[in-house]
Amino acid sequence: MECIFCEIVSGKIATDIVYQDEDFIAFRDIHPQAPKHLVIIPKAHIPSLNQLKTEHRNLMGGLILLARELANQEGIGTGYRLSISCGAEGGQVVPHLHLHLIGGRKLSDWLG
């Protein structure tokens, strides 16, 4: 079974890419939950947080720093949400580690 995010990385599936470098790609979510909703993924296929290894420490730090940079680029640097789901029970739909950057409106306190 092909990974849809790996197909985006390889160029087999077109999407609205807002950022790309040798390690990451960021694109607009096709079902946005807010005016600004990006999906940021490592290009390397890592199925979920549970498959992270010690050597991924810098990659994960880079992912968070990139999210901050993209939030500023998108004009939502003063307030946004970052979300990573882990596994089907945690709500992860695509089995490729990814981070959602969401903002552009006042977000509710959904954890409270």
Domains belonging to the chain, first-starting first, are 4-41+52-103 (3.30.428.10)
| Below-50 pLDDT ranges, the chain | 111-112
Question: Could you confirm whether 37 is annotated as catalytic?
Answer: no
What's this model's pTM, rounded to 2 decimal places? 0.93
**pLDDT attached to residue 112:** 42
Predicted pLDDT at 63: 98
Residue 58: alpha-carbon gap to chain centroid? 16
Catalytic residue among 37, 96, 98, 100: 98
Answer yes or no: are the C-beta atoms of 32 and 101 closer than 8 Å. no
Q: Please give the structure tokens belonging to residue 30.
A: 């096709």
* Spatial CA neighbour of 1 closest among 47, 39, 40: 47
